Chain A
Amino acid sequence: MKNIFIVSKYTFVEVYKSKILLNIILLGFALILISYIASEFSHGAQARIALDFGIGSMYLVVIGMSIFIGVSLLSNEVENRTAYMILSRPIKRWHFLTGKFLGMSSILFINVFLLGIIILAFFYFLGGSISALMWWALFFSLLESQIILLVVIFFSLITNVTMAVIYTICIFILGHVLGATLMINYIRDQYILVKLLTLTKWIIPDFDKLNLKDYIIYNHSMPFGYLMGSLCYAILYIGFMLILNIIVFERKELD
């Protein structure tokens, strides 16, 4: 288990030293600027619009980071043979994979935390009041980015980098639209289609469960049970994807 910590520590140090965090801070200021410009076009709901733009932009940045850094997290290690340097040590492959995932997750955590603080501080500055649900929304964004990270790692292990990115974006879009698609009247009339989409919904992550953006913008409250249910769903899905990745990586030929 100590090996997982060592790998995650050095994964974090490597990404940290690549000055990605500096870029995040710059991005934070860019988000404030975007939120400010957007809020200037609104009357009476300045803070809400700023929050909408801020959270939305942050969410896309975090998902983008998950996909584009995640896709090379293991595939680059294998292609560049850095994995050889590590896996020729007394370490199990699943320790290495879990360590890489946790290292990258900690980068995502810092990213969400820093950008979230900047956005909420700006929202507060514009007169908004910060609710507990906003922290939940940030936390769920982090969980969603981790699921996306594991999905992209999975595809990068079984296909090439380009296809892994394309497949992951497809999963991301499907994960957001499947729930709404099942609500369409035309679809509801098609028995086979409903069954097929329901089955797909079971396999593909249901990101609707983790999307609290509309609720915080319109200041709605959410039952605690729903939040806990979504949290359990995300944790189980992360666990499932991690195990799937481990099974694939354990069997992968490192050519």
Chain B
Amino acid sequence: MFVTVVHLFLILVYNSIKWNGRSMFKFKNISKEYKGHFWEKKFVALDNVSLSVDEGEVVGFLGANGAGKTTSIKIIMNFISPTSGEIVFDKKLGNNTVERFSNIGFFPERPYFYPHLTGREFIGYLGQLNKVERSLIEKRLAFWAEKLRLTFALDRKIRSYSKGMLQRLGFISANIHDPKLIVLDEPLSGLDPVGRKEFKDTLKYLSENGKTIFFSSHIVSDIEEVCKKVIVLESGKLMYQGSISELIEKDSHTYLTIRVKINEQPAKDLYLKSQIFDQSQGIYEYEVEKRLQDKFLTEILKLGGNILFLGVINPTLEEIIYKIKN
């Protein structure tokens, strides 16, 4: 009995330490419903979503348009409130919303700015709200503007900025107060390939400097390149959360791709799908479950087939997400 109590106590202490020391924020069964007029059906934007983002992680928040990513981010930023469930922040970020926002950098999707202010004035405005000293604002602005190649435009009115310049300015504004947690909503949308590369490099730089980054995107390859952890939403429901490598590894070991030169087709229950690779030479490619690998190969040899290629093809995250969705 005593041992059981001690064991339970240790588990509690461990979980508490793990929670306080690791998670930046947690969604606990968050749901969000929208209701138009009384005769309209309610729309469920988020359905009982529980997720957690740990300190120091770069977490990709993935989902198609309308999956509920922006709604989740608005809940994190207290712009809207959940219909049910709660969001718990690490005490490190602060005890109330105002304190927390001193430690959170936010970048909204398609950011808009005051068009008649200059970039420098706008950053000065936000820096002052964040209670950053004037000299420090200037120092950080100079650093980020140089890094993101925006120095030349800082004294221009924002209305003359291009889409890429606006994205850069928004990114600077999210970092001007050196936050612990950075929340970015589709930061790479609308950027050209060079801009995307720069942004991804900057995210890596921030990650190396210990920042926790939570960023949404509907482009899988961007998340695959930058993040170690991914959270996948689909139609307001959580589909997956965890390490990207685990997800890929788990999935890649399940199937094999076998390319053979053969005149006769093997039995259909031995493979998942087939496609003609080269019709003139009679080469086919089969996707085979790993548990049926031996049976399939034996069948091919029996039919006088010639095995040209056998391999575990690592699927991209995009393919895996597609599979999860279906």
Contact = CB atoms under 8 A, between A and B. Distances in A.
Contact of B130 (A7, A18, A90, A253): A90
Nearest to B185: A84
A10 interface: yes
Nearest to A255: B80
Contact of B116 (A7, A17, A80, A255): A17
A90 B104 CA distance: 9
Contact of A6 (B74, B77, B116, B129): B129
B106 A88 contact: yes
A62 B98 CA distance: 36
Contacts of A92: 98
Given A13-B121, A255-B74, A90 B112 contact: no
Interface in B52-99: 74, 77-81, 98-99
B102 interface: yes
B108 A10 contact: no
A89 B129 contact: yes
Contacts of A255: 74, 79-80
Interface in A1-50: 3, 6-7, 10, 13-14, 17-18
B101 A88 contact: yes
B100 to A, nearest CB: 8
Which of B81, B109, B114, B131 is the most central at the interface, judged by chain A CB atoms within 10 Å of its CB? B114
Contacts of A80: 112
Given A6-B128, A6-B129, A92-B98, A87 B114 contact: no
A81 B110 contact: yes
B97 to A, nearest CB: 8
B129 A90 contact: yes
Contact of B111 (A10, A18, A81): A81
B103 to A, nearest CB: 9
Contacts, number: 75
A82 B113 CA distance: 6
Contacts of A254: 74, 79-80
Interface string A76-98: 00001110111111111000000
Chain B interface SS verdict (over half): loop
A7 B122 CA distance: 11
A43 to B, nearest CB: 47
Contacts of B121: 10, 13
Size class of the contact patch on chain A: 20 to 34
B112 A81 contact: yes
B130 A84 contact: no
A90 B131 contact: yes
Interface in A114-163: none
B129 A253 contact: no
B116 A88 contact: no
B126 interface: yes
A88 B117 contact: no
B173 interface: yes
B9 interface: no
Given A80-B112, A81-B110, A84-B106, A3 B129 contact: yes
A86 to B, nearest CB: 7
A85 B81 contact: no
B110 A85 contact: no
B211 to A, nearest CB: 16
A90 to B, nearest CB: 5
Which of A6, A7, A89, A92 is the most central at the interface, judged by chain B CB atoms within 10 Å of its CB? A89
A253 B112 contact: no
A164 to B, nearest CB: 20
Given A18-B116, A81-B111, A82-B112, A88 B102 contact: no
Interface in A232-255: 253-255
Contacts of A82: 112-114
Interface in B112-163: 112-114, 116-117, 121, 125-126, 128-131, 157
Contacts of A7: 129
A17 B121 CA distance: 12
A16 to B, nearest CB: 8
Contacts of B157: 17
Given A10-B125, A81-B110, A82-B112, A90 B117 contact: no
Which of A7, A82, A84 is the most central at the interface, judged by chain B CB atoms within 10 Å of its CB? A84
Contacts of B114: 10, 14, 82
Given A82-B113, A91-B98, 9 more contacts: A3-B129, A13-B116, A14-B114, A84-B77, A85-B106, A85-B108, A85-B111, A86-B129, A87-B77
30 contacts: A6-B125, A6-B129, A10-B114, A10-B121, A10-B125, A14-B116, A18-B116, A80-B112, A81-B111, A82-B113, A84-B79, A84-B108, A85-B108, A85-B112, A85-B113, A85-B173, A86-B129, A88-B77, A88-B101, A89-B101, A89-B126, A89-B129, A90-B101, A90-B130, A90-B131, A91-B98, A91-B129, A254-B79, A254-B80, A255-B79
CB-CB nearest 10 A-B residue pairs:
A88-B106, A17-B116, A254-B79, A89-B129, A80-B112, A84-B108, A90-B101, A90-B102, A253-B80, A14-B114
Interface of A: 3, 6-7, 10, 13-14, 17-18, 80-82, 84-92, 253-255
